[in-house]
Homo-oligomer: A and B are copies of this chain.
């Protein structure tokens, strides 16, 4: 246990060791011009050698101006997004005691040109941006422009992997689909039969990925179950109910159901009205007031969830770490695929 106490070095110590002045160390640390490459190397070495870390409190204090972050979210009512906003609200004391400001920017994230237009002016106003974004060339270009302007960008829930965004905060949707598939298969048991899928639209990247993962598992491991063609409910209750009701009436041997997106209320209603809510294994996404109730009632059997509170906080922490040049705790910021059943409801 003879660990030497972390010496609490300061910039001054580094300057002395490197044989330069404080100003030069400061220039190196902030990549400012006016330092010979050889000198840069010497300073970097001194920093490495002592594994020196600038005192974040001192740095933050000296900065003066506060950092401003924006969350670009879909306009219109959406319980999941609403939860993210709520959790940000709960952080307000945490944020203000760090002189951080977080603002919400609502826009039509489903229209690439509208979204790209919204993003355009933002880099002047904000140090960092978290966004729920569509994967589209126009959006990709807008993101890259933000990055070039020095703004930190993280994608939230839905990724744009082809862009140069700094980080993605969300789940692996293929794995989520696989998990849903395994749950449906296992919970159905030995019983052979058909499995239905209700999605918002096959065009949404995350939905497509989930369906892909789901089918993967069904095909490879549950030969007794045959998957019916995907129904498109457009994430709306009325339409989801309608298309599912028709399917149920045509197939008496449906034993499993995977609801990929929203429209959960409609799906549940169709099941109940057909009097088959107890026989069909029903797996969906996200823990909301509704899915919570359906789980407790036994209508839903499991929900695949990405913790929205975690996502909101992770996005803020990642933006902050990026802005400060701190390393990101990858393990901490990774969003896990939660399986939520009645007894481990959060």
Hey, which chain B residues are within 8 Å of A327, CB to CB? 93-94
Q: How many Å lie between the Cα of A90 and that of B331 in the bound state?
A: 9
Contact A96:B336 (CB < 8 A) given known A179-B344, A343-B178? no
Q: How many Å lie between the Cα of A60 and that of B344 in the bound state?
A: 38
Are B53 and A6 closer than 8 Å at their CB atoms? no
Closest to A307 in B: B336
Contact A343:B217 (CB < 8 A) given known A8-B66, A332-B313? yes
Most buried by B among A307, A337, A344: A344
Q: How many Å lie between the Cα of A54 and that of B99 in the bound state?
A: 10
The answer, yes or no, to whether A80 is at the interface (CB within 8 Å) is no
- How many interface residues does chain A have, given as a range? 35 or more
The answer, yes or no, to whether A1 is at the interface (CB within 8 Å) is yes
Most buried by B among A8, A103, A189, A339: A339
Q: How many Å lie between the Cα of A309 and that of B93 in the bound state?
A: 25
Q: How many Å lie between the Cα of A65 and that of B3 in the bound state?
A: 18
Hey, which chain B residues are within 8 Å of A334, CB to CB? 346
Hey, which chain B residues are within 8 Å of A182, CB to CB? 341-343
Contact A57:B332 (CB < 8 A) given known A175-B344, A189-B190, A344-B337? no
The smallest C-beta distance from A328 to any residue of chain B, in angstroms, reads 10
The answer, yes or no, to whether A278 is at the interface (CB within 8 Å) is no
Hey, which chain B residues are within 8 Å of A94, CB to CB? 326-327, 329
Q: How many Å lie between the Cα of A107 and that of B175 in the bound state?
A: 40
The answer, yes or no, to whether A280 is at the interface (CB within 8 Å) is no
A229-243 interface bits toward B, Cβ cutoff 8 Å, 1 = contact, 0 = none: 000000000000000
Q: How many Å lie between the Cα of A306 and that of B94 in the bound state?
A: 25
The smallest C-beta distance from A185 to any residue of chain B, in angstroms, reads 10
A97 in complex: contacting residue of B54, B310, B341, CB < 8 Å: B54
Are A343 and B179 closer than 8 Å at their CB atoms? yes
Give chain A interface residues in 37-69, CB to chain B under 8 Å.
51, 53-58, 60-61, 66
Contact A329:B313 (CB < 8 A) given known A66-B8, A103-B3, A186-B187? yes
Are A183 and B91 closer than 8 Å at their CB atoms? no
The answer, yes or no, to whether A338 is at the interface (CB within 8 Å) is yes
Closest to A309 in B: B331
Hey, which chain B residues are within 8 Å of A344, CB to CB? 175-176, 178-179, 336-339
Are A309 and B332 closer than 8 Å at their CB atoms? yes
A336 in complex: contacting residue of B179, B183, B337, B338, CB < 8 Å: B338
The answer, yes or no, to whether A101 is at the interface (CB within 8 Å) is yes
Are A329 and B91 closer than 8 Å at their CB atoms? yes
Are B96 and A53 closer than 8 Å at their CB atoms? yes
Hey, which chain B residues are within 8 Å of A90, CB to CB? 329, 331
A-B contact pairs, 19 of them (CB 8 A): A8-B66, A53-B96, A53-B97, A54-B97, A55-B61, A57-B60, A61-B61, A91-B329, A175-B343, A175-B344, A178-B344, A179-B341, A179-B343, A182-B342, A309-B331, A309-B332, A334-B346, A336-B346, A337-B344
Going nearest first, the 7 A-B pairs with the smallest beta carbon separation are A189-B189, A57-B60, A53-B97, A339-B339, A178-B343, A337-B344, A57-B57
